[in-house]
């Protein structure tokens, strides 16, 4: 238990002391925190809760003298200092609450609101209606009002009269107390009593207000969790992510950006430059900043491990090759600067490789994370002869794409591939990568899979294009249709409407065997007709029977099964043809219901 508690302390400092530390710059924000963005009603509810002594939740602070990490700090919004000091603490959780309280209670300036919806700025002063605050029949939120920068509200008081607090005398007249005077109450009270000539009823009113409202602010304590500087950077970032309650959750890219900023390097600006290069390619339009950073991390950790191997580090102490959150946050600026340019080249090489596999758009990709792994692998094997690596690379890619290996635990799969594939491609290892060795694909996989937009369908669609599939209506190679960005749709060869009329089970007519990629025009011509009807319609429009049969064979369809509307034979024959297509891509030979790997005898098994 002692070890668990040694990384943090829990205290209950007085609110006024916390706000003073913020005012002096001793408590600041890490630059990973986003801007203050609370709305007016949230601030009123916060002030109301404190005025009643209710809890507003705990605050989390972090000691700012760690040997493990450096975050660039910034002042809490509303604080104005000519020279910002090195802070003692950084706010990890509670930024919005502390910023609102500082501006409303301590800054002696209006609260600067920023709308989440349109990002417009507005300035608001907050007041407590003394009489309403003391009335038990009035909800406390109704006793707190906000005024614009001029401290004037026209026609919206309960009596429909103008509220004007543009001078202290007008505040006294209307019994409206400015929250910015909360911790200088004695001074405001003195002027208030003087304005009313020390009238007994006013003295009684202000005494009661002080006892029931102001004292609650003055004595209010906030539970504060103080994280010690001994925590490693990944742990700090994890805690920040855990307590972050913004609608838009911070990614590890946001956290890394803040870490890199401490070394005067703008990760966000660098990514913007590299994004422009990558997004010249249609295939890379879906690459996100987190994907790119994961890819850099894979390459960096690969070379860390290679360096450790060269220095005879014991195997049990070799650094991991990985791209998880912790590994990304442990990436140094120097490593990023070294490997990010290589990763850009890796992505561009991936575009060339995938074009050869007839994958040319982001929508064609079976898995986005496999593109990350592919780009990382290519960043490492740059310079090796293409003929030496291409056939193996194709086998690895299709084994991962067709077998849904990247569906779950995808980061672990990418990390293991990065550990195993580059050395295998470069001939430095006879060990076959596990993604290739463990890949299995049987006929039931084709017949039970019904996701048109899933990885298996995308893989088979790409393999059909690579195999020379031709569009029914246009006579163009589908790879050309796809290259020129014309719409390609997934269509049933035995259309749904026809299959329902024939009482074919949905599990059969919706399976991947009954689906194929076709142009939008072909889809319209097929409609819901029987196969022999839409085929005959194409012949009637001028396509010869022999040409049409050749097009069907390019989709691995036995033409007679469609001309005869024989769904059962169609399902059997096309399943076998598709299995052969997949087995060739994966480098596997069909044995029974599954496939076993075809490898030269000299390759040893993975240990």
Q: Which residues of 432-463 are buried (b: 16+ CB within 10 A; e: fewer)?
A: bbbbbeebebebebbbebbeeeebbbbbbbbb
Model confidence pLDDT, tens digit, residues 543-566: 899 999 999 999 999 999 999 999
Q: Which residues of 154-176 are buried (b: 16+ CB within 10 A; e: fewer)?
A: eeeeeeeeebbbeeeeebbebbb
Same domain, 209 and 85: yes
Pick the residue with more confidence: 236 or 545? 545
Structural domain count, the chain: 3
Count the helix, strand and coil residues of the chain and give each as a percent rounded to the nearest 5.
Answer: 55, 10, 35
How far, in whole angstroms, is CA 427 from its chain's centroid?
A: 36
SS3 64: coil
Residue 601 — very low, low, confident or very high, per pLDDT cuts 50/70/90?
very low
Same domain, 405 and 483: no
Model confidence pLDDT, tens digit, residues 120-147: 678 999 999 999 999 999 999 999 999 9
**193: in domain:** yes
Q: What burial class does residue 223 get, using C-beta atoms within 10 Å of its C-beta: 0-12 exposed, 13-18 middle, 19+ buried?
A: middle
**234: in domain:** no
**175: in domain:** yes
Say whether pLDDT at 595 is over 70: no
Q: Name the β-bridge partners of 590.
A: 595
Say whether pLDDT at 254 is over 60: yes
Which of residues 430, 459, 480 is at a domain's end? 430
Which of residues 430, 456, 475 is at a domain's end? 430
Number of other residues whose CB lies within 10 A of the CB of residue 116: 11
Same domain, 92 and 150: yes
Q: At what angle do helices 410-425 and 386-402 cross, to 10 degrees?
A: 160
**356: in domain:** yes
Q: Please state the length of the chain.
A: 607
Same domain, 477 and 411: no
Nearest to 465 by CA among 578, 352, 359: 359
Q: Vertex 72, ends 69 and 75: CA angle to 5°?
A: 135
Q: Are 206 and 193 in contact (CB under 8 A)?
A: yes
**437: in domain:** no
Same domain, 504 and 454: yes
Same domain, 267 and 345: yes
* E strand spans, 538-583: none
Say whether pLDDT at 67 is over 60: yes
User: DSSP assignment of 367-427, as one string?
Assistant: -HHHHHHHHHHHHHSTTS-HHHHHHHHHHHHHHHHHTTTTSSSHHHHHHHHHHHHHHHHTT
Q: Which domain holds residue 32?
A: 2-219
E strand or H helix that includes residue 92: strand 89-93
Q: What's the CA gap between 40 and 241, in Å, rounded?
A: 26
**472: in domain:** yes
**439: in domain:** no
Q: At what angle do helices 410-425 and 289-310 cross, to 10 degrees?
A: 50
Q: What's the CA gap between 570 and 75, in Å, rounded?
A: 70
pLDDT value of residue 120: 62
Q: What's the CA gap between 48 and 409, in Å, rounded?
A: 47
Q: Name the β-bridge partners of 129.
A: 176
Torsion angle (degrees, nearest 10) of CA 461, 466, 469, 475: 120
Mean pLDDT score, 7-25: 91
Model confidence pLDDT, tens digit, residues 474-526: 888 887 765 565 667 788 899 999 999 999 999 889 988 999 988 878 878 88
Which of residues 376, 396, 430 is at a domain's end? 430
Q: Are 262 and 39 in contact (CB under 8 A)?
A: no
Nearest to 301 by CA among 278, 326, 268: 326
Q: What's the CA gap between 119 and 116, in Å, rounded?
A: 6
Model confidence pLDDT, tens digit, residues 563-577: 999 999 999 999 999
H/E/C letters for each residue in 468-492?
CCECCCCCCEHHHHHHCCCCEEEEE
pTM for this model (two decimals): 0.64
Number of other residues whose CB lies within 10 A of the CB of residue 519: 21
Q: Read off φ and ψ for residue 520, nearest 5 degrees.
A: -60, -40
Q: What's the CA gap between 135 and 436, in Å, rounded?
A: 75
Model confidence pLDDT, tens digit, residues 408-463: 667 888 999 999 999 999 888 788 999 999 888 877 778 777 666 678 888 999 99
Same domain, 453 and 426: no
Same domain, 259 and 322: yes
Same domain, 164 and 287: no
**233: in domain:** no
Same domain, 210 and 359: no
Same domain, 582 and 466: yes
Same domain, 377 and 511: no
Average model confidence (pLDDT) for the chain?
Answer: 85
Mean pLDDT score, 276-293: 92
Q: How many CA atoms lie within 13 A of 561 on its CB side?
A: 17
Nearby residues of 194 by Cβ (< 8 Å), 6 or more positions away: none
């Amino acid at each position: 238990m002692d070890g668990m508690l040694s990384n943090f302390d829990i205290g209950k400092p007085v609110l006024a002391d916390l706000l003073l530390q913020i005012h002096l710059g001793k408590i600041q924000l890490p630059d990973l925190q986003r801007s203050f963005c609370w709305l007016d009603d949230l601030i009123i509810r916060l002030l109301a809760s404190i005025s009643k002594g209710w809890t507003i939740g705990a605050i989390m602070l972090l000691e700012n003298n760690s040997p493990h990490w450096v975050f660039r700090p910034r002042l809490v919004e509303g604080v104005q200092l000519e020279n910002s000091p090195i802070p003692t603490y950084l706010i990890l959780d509670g930024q919005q609450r502390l910023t609102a309280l500082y501006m409303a209670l301590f800054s002696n300036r209006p609260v600067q609101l920023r709308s989440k919806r349109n990002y417009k700025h507005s300035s608001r002063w907050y007041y407590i209606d003394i009489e309403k605050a003391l009335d038990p029949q009035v909800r406390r939120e109704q006793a707190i009002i906000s005024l614009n920068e001029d401290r004037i509200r026209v026609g919206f008081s309960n009596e429909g009269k103008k509220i004007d607090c543009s001078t202290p005398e007008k505040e006294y007249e209307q019994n409206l107390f400015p929250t910015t005077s909360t911790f200088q109450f004695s001074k405001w009270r003195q002027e208030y009593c003087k304005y009313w000539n020390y009238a007994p009823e006013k003295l009684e009113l202000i005494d009661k207000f002080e006892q029931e409202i102001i004292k609650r602010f003055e004595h209010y304590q906030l539970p504060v969790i103080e994280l010690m500087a001994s925590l490693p950077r990944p742990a700090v970032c994890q805690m920040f992510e855990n307590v972050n309650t913004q609608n838009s959750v911070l990614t590890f890219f946001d956290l890394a950006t803040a870490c890199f900023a401490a070394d005067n390097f703008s990760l966000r600006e660098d990514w913007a430059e590299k994004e422009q290069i990558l997004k010249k390619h249609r295939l890379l339009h879906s690459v996100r900043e987190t994907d790119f950073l994961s890819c850099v991390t894979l390459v960096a950790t690969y070379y860390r491990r290679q360096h450790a191997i060269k220095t005879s580090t014991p195997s049990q102490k070799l650094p991991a090759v990985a791209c998880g959150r912790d590994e990304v946050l442990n990436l140094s600026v120097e490593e990023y600067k070294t490997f990010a340019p290589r990763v850009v080249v890796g992505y561009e090489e991936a575009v060339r490789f995938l074009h050869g596999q007839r994958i040319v758009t982001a929508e064609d990709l079976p898995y986005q994370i496999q593109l990350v792994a592919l780009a990382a692998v290519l960043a490492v094997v740059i310079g090796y002869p293409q003929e030496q690596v291409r056939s193996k690379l194709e086998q690895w890619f299709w084994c991962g794409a067709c077998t849904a290996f990247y569906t779950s635990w995808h980061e672990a799969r990418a990390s293991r591939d990065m550990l195993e594939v580059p050395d295998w491609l470069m001939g430095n290892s006879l060990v076959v990568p596990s993604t290739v060795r463990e890949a299995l694909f049987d006929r039931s996989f084709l017949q039970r899979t019904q996701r048109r937009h899933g990885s298996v369908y995308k893989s088979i669609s790409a393999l059909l294009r690579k195999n020379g599939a031709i569009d029914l209506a246009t006579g163009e190679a589908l790879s050309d249709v796809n290259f020129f960005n014309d719409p390609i749709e997934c269509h049933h060869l035995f259309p749904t409407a026809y299959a329902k009329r024939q009482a074919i089970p949905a599990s059969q007519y919706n399976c991947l065997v009954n689906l194929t990629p076709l142009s939008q025009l072909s889809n319209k011509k097929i409609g819901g007709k029987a196969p022999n009807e839409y085929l005959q319609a194409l012949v009637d429009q001028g396509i010869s029977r022999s040409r049409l049969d050749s097009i069907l064979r390019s989709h691995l369809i036995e033409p007679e099964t469609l001309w005869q509307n024989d769904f059962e034979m169609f399902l059997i024959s096309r399943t076998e043809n598709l299995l052969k297509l997949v087995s060739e891509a994966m480098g596997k030979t069909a044995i029974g219901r599954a496939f076993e790997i075809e490898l030269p005898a000299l390759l040893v098994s993975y240990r």
